Amino acid sequence: MRNLLLIFICIIFFSCSTKQNETHNTPSYIIDIDKAVVEEQLLYSTVFHKMKTIILETSEQCLISMIDKMEVYNDYIIILDTRAAKSVFVFDKEGKFIKKIGTVGAGPGEFIYPVDITIDSKRGEIYILDFSSQKILRYHISTGAYLSTINIHRADGNSITKICYVNDILYTDAAFPNQSSTNYLMQALNASSGEKKNVYFTTEYTNKGWYDMYEINSKAFHHTGKRSLFNQYFMDTVVSLMPQVDPFFIIQSNKLPTQKDMEKFASSDFSNRHKIDKITDLNKFIEYKDFIFFEYRLGFPFKNIIYNKKTGETFQYKYITNDFLFNIRDYTIPIFGYAASEGLYTFYEAGGIDRLIFFIEEGWCSDKLDRKEEILNLDEDTNPIIFYFEYKDLNI
């Protein structure tokens, strides 16, 4: 009896005192931005061999204000409009409206403020994160049928704004109300029960002198066409979630924020962060063949990087010109939507279409732009236009 008690005490002691240090493999690639070869211009036609214009159907049932997130699954283009419609719309690849998934409301299978979606392509299911209730709702994509609700275990007091499904695991970001050494940037939940399986990038691990201060990225999770990635605003490390959570690449530069910069951030108005000439906000990740493409913010403007995984060479382009759309070097190339394995989906917001019409009327649009006449006839009520660019054999 005494021995049993001793064993029990030992178990309790070790389970409480064992501190698991977070360890990860070393990143597969180190990208030194300062050593990038600066080139003048990258043409879309260097990378893509054709473009397709997808004019999304416009009707009272499927009016979209903003595309907050786009996913592509089989023949469907799935669009989340977080703010006005608070809805998830499914279109086919010709732009025909198919259905809405879920409805706004507080009842079972309804959501109030859908802030993110993620796809389980194996089962053909979609997960919708309701920020208001901090619940994740699961639906069948083809039928639109509501399947279940996952209640997120929130013992740590964090709230989540982004989700990403990978192999039966739902990865989420984690926003904490207070700074603490126990905070973390990402967690893994069981996709069925919502039970927490693991936490990643604790303050202790990621701490570069700024505690857990980071801004929730507009997109914490990214699809490159080959894998899912995780990255937050101030992270210099881009994490791959496949086959396991490990650093994919790390960036090096003299322009990365230092501890002093972060203290400055912390003590000043956070909205002024763009005024500081530092590298932040890595985004728009694309992977094709041996190349990784991404953008980052240096102060306010975005810069691009193309990294060759095979040779280790890094390139930066002063201009990226969409010569499928324009005859001129235009700075308003369509907005990045979704990187698929076979191509890239971009879009023009409803509010930006009049500008595109102006470009067509001025003769500034390329002959490669199809459906010009239809675009010219669009009115202010129209839904966004999607431009899909298909990769060709890449040889930059």
Partner 1 sequence: MKTRIINISIFLLVVILTVIFVIFNKIKPENDYLSYEHEIQEIPEVFIKELRLNQINETLGVNKPILVYRYTTDVCNSCLHEDLYELSKWLDHLGKQNVMVLPAYPHNRDTRIRLHNELAKFNYKNISSDSVVIPFDKDGNSKRYFALISENGEPELIFFPESGKTELTDFFLKRVQKKIKNNKD
Nearest to 367 by CA among 304, 311, 323: 323
**For partner 1, the closer CB: 64 or 191:** 64
Q: In this structure, what are the phi and psi dihedrals at residue 87, rounded to the nearest 5 degrees?
A: -140, 165
Instruction: Verify binding: residue 151, partner 1, rule CB under 8 A.
Output: no
**Which range of residues in 79-87, 145-153, 251-259, 313-321 is near partner 1 by CB under 8 A?**
79-87
**For partner 1, the closer CB: 65 or 366:** 65
Query: What does the block give as tokens for 153?
Result: 């275990």
DSSP conformational letter for 269: -
**For partner 1, the closer CB: 107 or 301:** 107
Nearest to 301 by CA among 316, 323, 312: 316
Site residues (CB under 8 A) for partner 1, limited to 80-139: 81, 83-87, 103-107, 112-113, 132
**For partner 1, the closer CB: 11 or 106:** 106
Distance from C-alpha of 313 to C-alpha of 92, rounded to nearest angstrom: 39
Instruction: Verify binding: residue 381, partner 1, rule CB under 8 A.
Output: yes
Report the nearest approach of partner 1 to the CB of residue 82 (Å).
11
Q: Are 383 and 62 in contact (CB under 8 A)?
A: yes
Count of residues interacting with partner 1 (CB under 8 A): 21
**For partner 1, the closer CB: 64 or 163:** 64
**For partner 1, the closer CB: 40 or 380:** 380
Report the nearest approach of partner 1 to the CB of residue 73 (Å).
22
**For partner 1, the closer CB: 7 or 84:** 84
Q: Please name the residues in contact with 54: beta carbons below 8 A apart, sequence gap of 6 or more.
A: 77, 91, 93, 94, 95, 385, 386, 387, 388
Site residues (CB under 8 A) for partner 1, limited to 251-290: none
The residue type at 316: Q
Report the nearest approach of partner 1 to the CB of residue 57 (Å).
14
**For partner 1, the closer CB: 87 or 283:** 87
Q: Which residues pair with 55 in a beta bridge?
A: 385
Place of tokens 């980071």: 214
DSSP H helices in the chain: 2-17, 44-47, 203-206, 259-267, 353-361, 372-376
Cis peptide before 243 (omega within 30 of 0): yes
Contact string (CB under 8 A) for partner 1, positions 324-363, x = contact: --------------------------x-------------
Instruction: Verify binding: residue 65, partner 1, rule CB under 8 A.
Output: yes
Report the nearest approach of partner 1 to the CB of residue 63 (Å).
5
Q: In what order do the strands lie in the sheet with 163-166?
A: 163-166, 169-173, 184-190, 196-202
Query: What does the block give as tokens for 324?
Result: 């499928």
Instruction: Verify binding: residue 385, partner 1, rule CB under 8 A.
Output: no
Report the nearest approach of partner 1 to the CB of residue 357 (Å).
17
Report the nearest approach of partner 1 to the CB of residue 334 (Å).
20
Query: What does the block give as tokens for 353?
Result: 């279409």
Instruction: Verify binding: residue 396, partner 1, rule CB under 8 A.
Output: no
**For partner 1, the closer CB: 112 or 266:** 112
Q: Give the torsion sign (CA, 320, 324, 329, 333).
A: negative
The residue ranges that bind partner 1 (CB under 8 A) are: 60, 63-65, 81, 83-87, 103-107, 112-113, 132, 350, 380-381
